Structure 1
Amino acid sequence: MIEIIRTRFEGLIDIEHIRRKVTIRPEPVGDIDQLSPMLAAHFLDMTLRKIFLPNHFSLELIAELIGKAAVHSAIRSTTEQKFVKGMYYPTPTETFPICLTGLAGVGKSATIEALLRVMPGPTEFQIDHCMAPLTAESHWYASAKGKSSGKQLLADFLGIEATTRENAASLQFRAQQQANKRGISLAVLEEMQHLTPGKGVALTTDFLLTMSGLGLPMVYVSNFSLGHKLLKRNQEDTQRLVAQPRVMWPDAPESKIWADFIDACITASDGRIRTDRDNFSHEIYRGSYGIKRAAIHLIVQAYIQARSENRTWIELGDVHKAYISSAYYAYRTDVEELERIAIGQKTKRDDLLCPFGSPARSNIVQFVRRERDNRVAQAVFKGALTAEERDTHKSLKLDSDMKAQPPQRPKRKPLGKPTNDDLGNVFSDFFDDKDDN
């Protein structure tokens, strides 16, 4: 029955299978217009956040991690004797974890959640060495939230009190035994941002080295700030912990996956986005830098703006108002700083600057530069016009949200107050005309 351990990953590496398994298109939000604006926006936000459409990066990463887990499982269970030996005398090995990093809100955690949905569930199997059946688990998901040390992480995995007098080496050995007995083939470490800030990167390094010492294929989620800090560690730490970065970037503005995401948002809104789809997609991308969390927040704030205008549907002008609203301020400052970084300006914000370098000619950079060039060209064009030409250009300009104003009629010059001579002349002319008739 040991074959069950080796075969549980069969067929899971296929890209199309992964796509079908992880794609989520939620049901439309339904009738929320009778609710108060903020409560209705809350339901819209919850619905949009359920959307998950994996891009090429996510699919490839999930396939890579499942493949590594399958290889590890196969090596540990080539024979029943080798499997039993690992339960008591685990082979000391060291692995180099994969560092999944990217901007906040770009979809790292959603990709990890998708990975766990694809991984095989608990599988019961029987070996001659044990009288009772054993249960194989494919992965170990660990959260750094609320943990004070790598030792506590191991204690939680073993199900014992963290105050035990066993040292970290002993706990690590027991954790290796348990991992082999339970057939665990992948370790996932997330929520690194919740580590105690006062202990700096030393605590993070302790966590990562502790888990990598278990000998399991491993992936951990990191923001850009943590990557900068880890790269400042000693050589022996950086070569172990950041040797395999996987940088997740926002989708390209003209990509099919971004278009599918916008279509999914329109469908989930249940008819509440009533504007040209291409213009809407362009404005959402420009206001969010393609970051899904920011894009959803911008759409929700646009709905709130629409409700403030006594409408239940979103127009393009609502997106503009949402972008400059106070509710979008935190995202707006990030987006504008990212745009400055994209065109080559320096920044002091490590949380927005990739520690592993940025693609020199990515589609996102080209989009930002093209937008900047368009704005500069418009500003130069308007600056070169005379006052009369600016008035003419303004009257000819068509805006999707504003009706063209009719030209005002020029005021007639006042006649002035007539004198006595003027009145006498008019009187004489009047009677002269009558005599001619």
Structure 2
Amino acid sequence: MIEKLRTRFEGLIDIEHIRKKVTIRPKPVGDIDRQPPMLAAHFLEMALRQIFLPNQFSLELIAELVGRAAVHSEMRSATEQTFVNGMYYPTPAETFPICLTGLAGVGKSATIEALLRVLPGPTEFKIDHCMELQRAESYWYASARGKASGKQLLTDFLGIEVTTRENAAILKLRAQQQANQRGISLAVLEEMQHLTPGKGVALTTDILLTMSGLGLPMVYVSNFSLGHKLLKRNQEDTQRLVAEPRIMWPDAPESKIWADFIDECITVSDGRIRAKPTDFSHEIYRGSYGLKRAAIHLMVQAYIQARASNRTWVEVEDVHRAYTSSAYYSYRVDVEELERIAIQKNSKRDDLNCPFGSPMRSNVVQFVRRERDNRIAQAVFKGSLTAEERETHKSLKLDTDMKAQNPKRPKRPPLGKPTNDDLGNTFSDYFNDNDDK
């Protein structure tokens, strides 16, 4: 029955349902210390990358997109006559896509993957117009990687050769018909940043306009640099393609979701992170700017540094060494530039500047400024010391660090089982001591 298309989205918009559906807490990594350091680090990285704890932004965005898909599905399947009419004579429509944008590594792709897990799977239904059961799909996921034009995207969707002589208008009509027949209610377009660089933003605009012309609710993932390029297009393009941006920022350093993420990383590491959680969380945020991809890479590099020190567990000092390592260089350059942008608010790097004028979170800016002030104060203090004072300060710091480690008291060696001679000698000594008294 056609009612199956209208009821397949019921209950999927509830925030708590979405949270339970998309949250991923992988199993601890297990015994990896017997492996070579780089291979063990690879296993640790694979486990950490599976973690997904949605923040409020991700939950609300998923709920919004699922809601739009549900409304579209209900409109297209209000009656069997409406559904059949859309299979042959789709109503011309144009939608303004949602642009999901943010810094690289902030979690945009992970949010899209979570969205696809929430959307209903294939649904079989029966209508009188068709003799066989029909199969409905809730979304169409497309990748822009390697596409030469919007026409190629349509031919991929239709499953035909790209060399067809049909023009883009006919292909778009056929794609609308098939989308209505298959019950598709949401279009998801990803990897826009991987389009052919030589063709500039014209290719991106062509693909986005082609997709928006299908009349489906749509979301596409964009980095900041692509947003700057799209805003330089003509008015008729910008009003269609970047009218509804959704900007994803890193979690705040003192937020519960960031603390939960660090706690989950400690759990997944299976005891290999032994630093104090608050100190570890602070150092990871300072070295990654709250970007999950950078944070995981920093943890993995810290484990490699620990193995180089003949340890199988990570301490705060390992995070410091990992941050200054060559393996973390590209991340370190971005993090330090982001810190400079947070304070000075000017940069020539479009990939780190929000194109839509949205200010950075005030608590993140305060965190960056506080860390800068602390580093400046420490540098001024150390610069004012004499050579003798610096040596004394260094020895005091080492002594404090050693006390903070709370070393375990060594176990006493076992006494062993006493012999008969030992018991006799002890007995004699006891009575001799009493006689003296």
TM-score with structure 2 setting the length: 0.90
The alpha-carbon deviation at position 400 of structure 1 amounts to 6.5
What residue number does 2:27 align with? Answer: 27
* Cα distance change of structure 1 residues 89 and 138 upon mapping to structure 2, 3 Å threshold: same
* Cα distance in 2 between the residues matched to 1:16 and 1:278: 28
Measure, in 2, the Cα distance between the counterparts of 1:65 and 1:286.
33
Letter in 1 for 2:240: R
**SS of match in other structure, 2:278:** helix
CA separation of 1:274/1:256 partners in 2, compared to 1, >3 Å: closer, same or farther? same
Separation in 1, partners of 2:366, 2:196: 39
Q: Please give the residue correspondences for 1:130-169 in structure 2 after superposition, counting only pairs within 5 Å.
A: 130-169=130-169
> Unaligned stretches of 5+ in structure 2?
405-437
The answer as to 2:328 corresponding to 1:331 is: no
Shift of 1:358: 3.4
Q: Secondary structure at the residue paired with 1:226?
A: helix
SS in 2 for 1:148: coil
2:148, 2:399 → 1: CA distance? 57
Unaligned runs of 5+ in 1: 405-437
Over 3 Å counting, the alpha-carbon distance change for 1:40 and 1:385 in structure 2 is closer
Q: Which amino acid in the other structure matches residue 226 of structure 1?
A: L
CA contact (8 A) 1:28 1:270 kept: yes
1:276 partner letter: K
In structure 2, the residue matched to 1:6 is 6
Q: Give 3-state SS (helix, strand or coil) of 1:189's partner.
A: strand
Find the counterpart in structure 2 of residue 411 from structure 1. Answer: none
Distance 1:5 1:403, change over 3 A: same
Match of 1:170 in 2: 170
Aligned equivalents of 1:165 and 1:222: distance in 2? Answer: 31
Counterpart residue number, 1:254? 254
| AA of the residue aligned to 2:300 | V
1:105 is paired with a residue whose SS is coil
Q: How does 1:9-408 map to 2 (within 5 A)?
A: 9-359=9-359, 361-383=361-383, 393-397=393-397
Q: CA deviation at 1:347?
A: 1.4
**Would the alpha carbon gap of residues 399 and 265 (structure 1) be closer, same or farther in structure 2, given more than 3 Å must change?**
farther
Find the aligned partners of 2:400 and 2:48 in 1 and give their Cα distance: 26
Structure 1 residues 308 and 394: CA distance shift in structure 2, 3 A: closer
- Cα deviations across residues 368-425 of structure 1 (Å, max 9, x unaligned)? 0111122223334444556776565545446775679xxxxxxxxxxxxxxxxxxxxx
Does the Cα contact within 8 Å between 2:342 and 2:360 map onto a contact in 1?
A: no
User: Compared with structure 1, are the counterparts of its residues 6 and 398 closer, same or farther at alpha carbon in structure 2 (3 Å cutoff)?
Assistant: same
> Match of 1:228, as an amino acid?
H
**In structure 1, what is the Cα distance between the partners aligned to 2:393 and 2:201?**
57
Q: Which residue of 1 aligns with 2:419?
A: none
Tell me the distance in 1 between the aligned counterparts of 2:397 and 2:33. Answer: 34
| Alpha-carbon distance in structure 2 between the residues aligned to 1:41 and 1:305 | 10
Q: Distance in 1 between matches of 2:63 and 2:400?
A: 45
Number of equivalenced pairs: 404
Q: Secondary structure at the match of 1:343?
A: helix
Taking only the aligned residue pairs, the percentage that are identical comes to 84
Q: Which segment is superposed worse, 338-347 or 55-64?
A: 338-347
Contact 1:138 1:185 in 2 (8 A): yes
Counterpart Cα distance in 1 of 2:203 and 2:391: 63
Asked if structure 2 preserves the Cα contact closer than 8 Å seen for 1:301 and 1:322, the reply is yes
* Aligned 8 A contact 2:303 2:313 in 1: yes
Contact kept in structure 2, 1:316 and 1:401, CA below 8 Å:
no
Q: RMSD between aligned alpha carbons?
A: 1.6
Q: TM-score, normalised by structure 1?
A: 0.90
Distance 2:250 2:237 in 1: 29
Max Rg structure: 1
Q: Distance in 2 between matches of 1:392 and 1:142?
A: 63
Q: What secondary structure, in the 3-state scheme, does the structure 2 residue paired with 1:101 have?
A: strand
Deviations 1:167-222 (A, max 9, x none): 00000000000011111000000011221111000000000000000000000000
Q: Secondary structure at the match of 1:369?
A: helix
- Counterpart AA for 1:260: D
Contact 1:317–1:401 at 8 Å: present in 2 too?
no
Residue by residue, what CA displacement relative to the aligned partner does 1:275-304 show, whole Å, maximum 9, x if unpaired? 111100000000000000000000000111
Structure 2: how far apart are the matches of 1:200 and 1:359?
27
